[in-house]
Amino acid sequence: MIRALLPAIDRTARASLAAQIADFYADRIRDAGLRPGDRLPPIRRVAESCEVTRATVAEAYRLLAGRGLVESVVGRGTTVVHGGDAGQSASETRGEVGDSLSPYARAALRQTREMPGAPPLPAGRALVANFAELAPDGDLYPVDEWRAAMDAVLRRDGGGLLGYGHATQGLPELRALLAERWHDRERPVAADDILVTAGAQQALDLVLRTFCAPGDEVVVTTPSYHQMSGLLRAHGLDVLAVPFGPDGLDLDRLEQLLQRPTVRLLYLMPTFHNPTGQSLGLQERRALVEMLARTDVPVVEDEYQFALRFAGEPLPSLRSMDPRDLTVTVATTSKDLFPALRLGWVMGSAALLAPMASVKRFMDLETSALLQAALVEFVQRGSLDRHLEAMRNELRIRHQALRAACRLHLPAGCRVTEPDGGFVAWLELPQPGQGEQLAELALERGVRVVPGRVFDLHGRPSRGVRLSLTRADADQIAAGIAVIGECVHELLASPLAARPFL
Ligand X SMILES: Cc1ncc(COP(=O)(O)O)c(C=O)c1O
Q: How far is CA 233 from CA 28, 63, 105, 218, 454, in A?
A: 21, 9, 11, 10, 15
Q: Which residues bind ligand X (CB under 6 A)?
A: 134, 199-201, 225, 269, 274, 302, 304, 332, 334, 339, 344
Closer by beta carbon to ligand X, 302 or else 322: 302
Q: How far is the CB of 330 from ligand X (least distance, A)?
A: 7
* Maximal CA-CA distance, the chain: 75
Residues 6+ apart with CB under 8 A from 99: 14, 15
Closer by beta carbon to ligand X, 106 or else 273: 273
Q: How far is the CB of 341 from ligand X (least distance, A)?
A: 9
What span, in angstroms and rounded, lies between the C-alpha atoms of 318 and 26?
A: 39
* SS3 (DSSP) at 140: helix
Closer by beta carbon to ligand X, 146 or else 304: 304
Q: How far is CA 154 from CA 162, 277, 338, 342, 370, in A?
A: 9, 39, 20, 19, 8
Q: How far is the CB of 202 from ligand X (least distance, A)?
A: 7
Q: How far is the CB of 322 from ligand X (least distance, A)?
A: 20
Q: How far is the CB of 173 from ligand X (least distance, A)?
A: 20
DSSP readout, 352-373? HHHHHHHHHHHHHSS--HHHHH
Are 317 and 184 within 8 A, CB to CB?
Answer: yes
Q: How far is the CB of 376 from ligand X (least distance, A)?
A: 18
Q: How far is CA 311 from CA 231, 392, 419, in A?
A: 32, 9, 9
Q: How far is the CB of 422 from ligand X (least distance, A)?
A: 10
**Distance between alpha carbon 489 and the CA centroid of its chain, in Å?**
31
Q: Counting Cβ atoms within 10 Å, is residue 28 exposed (0-12), middle (13-18) or buried (19+)? A: buried
Are 405 and 397 within 8 A, CB to CB?
Answer: no
DSSP state of 1: -
Q: Report the amino acid identity of residue 404.
A: A
Closer by beta carbon to ligand X, 310 or else 423: 423
Closer by beta carbon to ligand X, 84 or else 199: 199
| H or E element at residue 287 | helix 282-292
Closer by beta carbon to ligand X, 70 or else 200: 200
Closest CA to 345 of 328, 362, 361: 328
Are 77 and 61 within 8 A, CB to CB?
Answer: no
Closer by beta carbon to ligand X, 47 or else 200: 200
Closest CB to ligand X: residue number = 199
Closer by beta carbon to ligand X, 89 or else 227: 227
What span, in angstroms and rounded, lies between the C-alpha atoms of 334 and 221?
A: 22
Closer by beta carbon to ligand X, 20 or else 334: 334
Q: How far is the CB of 455 from ligand X (least distance, A)?
A: 10
Q: How far is the CB of 256 from ligand X (least distance, A)?
A: 25
